[in-house]
Structure 1
Amino acid sequence: MIPNNQKKMTTDDIVPPGGADVELAPVPAPAEAKRDDDPYLVAFDEPFDADNPKHWPKGRKWAVTDVLSATGFNRIMVSTIMAPALPLIASELSMTTVESVMALSIYILATAFGPLVIGPLSEIYGRERVLHASNIWFLVWNIACGFTNTKELLIASRFLAGFGASSIYALAGGVLGDVWRPEERGRSLSIYLLIPLLGAAVGPIIGGFMAARTTWRWMFWSTSIFQAVMIAVSFTTFRETFAPLILKRRAQRLRRETGNQQYRTVYERLEEEKSVVSILGRALTRPIRLLAFNQITQLTSVISGFYYGILYIVLSSFSALWTDQYHQSVEISGLHYLAIALGEILGSQLGGPVMDCLFKYMLKRAGTDEHMPEYRIPLVFPAVLLGTLGLFVYGWTAQYTVHWIVVDIAIFVSTFGFQIKGMPLQAYVIDSFPEHTSSAMAANQFLSSLTAFLFPLFVPSMYSALGYGWGNSTLAFISLVIGLPAPLLIWLYGARLRAKMISTY
Structure 2
Amino acid sequence: MASHQDSLEVQAGQTTNQLDTDEVLKRLEKLKDVYGATWDSPNDPEDPYNWPTWRKVWTGIIFSFGQLVTLMSSGMMAAALDEISHDVEMGSSTTLLASSIYFLGLATGPLFIAAWSEMDGRKHIWIFSNFWYILWNSVAPVRNSKALLISGRLLSGVGASAGIALTQPTMADMYGKSHRGRSIALATFLPYLGPALGPIVGGLATGYVIVLLGILTIKESYTPVLLKRKAAKNVDRKKNDEKHSSPDYWVFWSQLAAQFLVNLKRPALLLVKQPAVQLIALVMALNFGTYVLMISTTALMWLNRYHQSATESSLHYLAFSVGATISAQVGGRAMDWSYKKLCKRYASQGQAHPELRVPFMLAGAILSPIGLFWYGWSADANLHWIMPDIGAAIFTSGNFIFSQGMAAYLLDEFGEFSASATAASRIFSYAIGFVFPIFAPQLYNNLGYGWGSTLLAMLTVALGIPAPLVLWLWGPKLRKLGR
TM-score normalised by length of structure 1:
0.85
Matched, 1:377 2:358: yes
Q: Could you list the per-position Cα deviations for residues 361-386 of structure 1 after superposition, in whole angstroms to 9, with x for gaps in the alignment? A: 00111125743211111122232122
Q: Could you list the per-position Cα deviations for residues 176-228 of structure 1 after superposition, in whole angstroms to 9, with x for gaps in the alignment? A: 1111100111011112222112222111123xxxxxxxxxxxx5xxx222111
Q: How much has 1:310 moved relative to structure 2?
A: 0.5
Look up the equivalent residue of 2:146 and give its one-letter code.
K
**Aligned residue in 1 for 2:430:** 449
Q: Aligned partners of 1:234, 1:424: CA distance in 2, in Å?
A: 28
CA RMSD of aligned residues (A): 2.2
Q: How much has 1:160 moved relative to structure 2?
A: 0.7
Q: Aligned partners of 1:138, 1:319: CA distance in 2, in Å?
A: 25
**Contact 1:79 1:107 (C-alpha < 8 Å) held by counterparts:** yes
**Aligned residue in 2 for 1:77:** 72
Q: How much has 1:290 moved relative to structure 2?
A: 1.0
Matched, 1:128 2:123: yes
Counterparts in 2 of 1:393-412, with a 5 A limit? 393-412=374-393
**Aligned residue in 2 for 1:180:** 175
**Aligned residue in 1 for 2:46:** 51
**Contact 2:102 2:156 (C-alpha < 8 Å) held by counterparts:** yes
**Contact 1:103 1:155 (C-alpha < 8 Å) held by counterparts:** yes
Q: Aligned partners of 2:319, 2:59: CA distance in 1, in Å?
A: 29
**Contact 1:77 1:200 (C-alpha < 8 Å) held by counterparts:** yes
**Aligned residue in 1 for 2:107:** 112
Correspondence for 2:310 among 330, 342, 360: 330
Q: How much has 1:469 moved relative to structure 2?
A: 1.3
Structure 2 vs 1, CA of residues 380 and 33 (structure 1 numbering), >3 Å: closer, same or farther?
closer
**Aligned residue in 1 for 2:28:** 31
**Contact 2:36 2:228 (C-alpha < 8 Å) held by counterparts:** no
Q: Aligned partners of 2:191, 2:398: CA distance in 1, in Å?
A: 17
**Contact 1:10 1:29 (C-alpha < 8 Å) held by counterparts:** no
**Contact 1:67 1:237 (C-alpha < 8 Å) held by counterparts:** no
Partner secondary structure for residue 433 of structure 1: helix
Q: Aligned partners of 1:336, 1:105: CA distance in 2, in Å?
A: 21
Correspondence for 1:351 among 314, 331, 339: 331
**Contact 2:4 2:417 (C-alpha < 8 Å) held by counterparts:** no
**Aligned residue in 2 for 1:283:** 263
Partner secondary structure for residue 33 of structure 1: helix
Partner secondary structure for residue 419 of structure 2: helix
Q: Could you list the per-position Cα deviations for residues 99-147 of structure 1 after superposition, in whole angstroms to 9, with x for gaps in the alignment? A: 1111111111110000011111100111111011111111111111242
**Aligned residue in 2 for 1:201:** 196
Q: How much has 1:260 moved relative to structure 2?
A: 7.2
Counterparts in 2 of 1:429-448, with a 5 A limit? 429-448=410-429
Look up the equivalent residue of 1:459 and give its one-letter code.
A
Q: Could you list the per-position Cα deviations for residues 21-66 of structure 1 after superposition, in whole angstroms to 9, with x for gaps in the alignment? A: xxxxxxx98633265xx8x932223333222211222122112111
Q: Which has the higher helix share?
A: 2
**Aligned residue in 2 for 1:312:** 292
Q: How much has 1:278 moved relative to structure 2?
A: 3.4
Q: How much has 1:354 moved relative to structure 2?
A: 0.5
**Aligned residue in 1 for 2:215:** 235
User: Unaligned stretches of 5+ in structure 2?
Assistant: 7-24, 242-251
Q: Aligned partners of 2:359, 2:128: CA distance in 1, in Å?
A: 38
Q: How much has 1:500 moved relative to structure 2?
A: 4.7
Q: Could you list the per-position Cα deviations for residues 300-345 of structure 1 after superposition, in whole angstroms to 9, with x for gaps in the alignment? A: 1111110100001010000000111111100000011111111122
**Contact 1:30 1:44 (C-alpha < 8 Å) held by counterparts:** no
Look up the equivalent residue of 2:69 and give its one-letter code.
N
Partner secondary structure for residue 434 of structure 1: helix
Q: How much has 1:8 moved relative to structure 2?
A: 6.6
**Contact 1:9 1:501 (C-alpha < 8 Å) held by counterparts:** no
**Aligned residue in 2 for 1:155:** 150
User: Unaligned stretches of 5+ in structure 1?
Assistant: 1-6, 12-27, 207-218, 262-271
Q: Aligned partners of 1:122, 1:9: CA distance in 2, in Å?
A: 16
**Contact 1:336 1:408 (C-alpha < 8 Å) held by counterparts:** yes
Q: How much has 1:233 moved relative to structure 2?
A: 0.3
Q: How much has 1:275 moved relative to structure 2?
A: 4.1
**Aligned residue in 1 for 2:474:** 493
Look up the equivalent residue of 1:230 and give its one-letter code.
I
Structure 2 vs 1, CA of residues 126 and 151 (structure 1 numbering), >3 Å: closer, same or farther?
same
Q: How much has 1:96 moved relative to structure 2?
A: 0.6
Moved more, 426-435 or 393-402: 393-402
Structure 2 vs 1, CA of residues 65 and 259 (structure 1 numbering), >3 Å: closer, same or farther?
farther
Q: How much has 1:346 moved relative to structure 2?
A: 1.0
Alignment length, in residue pairs? 452
Q: Which has the bigger relative contact order, CA under 8 A and spacing at least 6?
A: 1
Q: Could you list the per-position Cα deviations for residues 272-304 of structure 1 after superposition, in whole angstroms to 9, with x for gaps in the alignment? A: 9x9444322221011111111211111111111
Q: Aligned partners of 1:469, 1:167: CA distance in 2, in Å?
A: 36
Q: Aligned partners of 1:304, 1:158: CA distance in 2, in Å?
A: 23
Matched, 1:138 2:133: yes
**Contact 2:121 2:220 (C-alpha < 8 Å) held by counterparts:** yes
Structure 2 vs 1, CA of residues 34 and 225 (structure 1 numbering), >3 Å: closer, same or farther?
closer
Q: Aligned partners of 1:45, 1:245: CA distance in 2, in Å?
A: 16
Correspondence for 1:466 among 444, 447, 457: 447
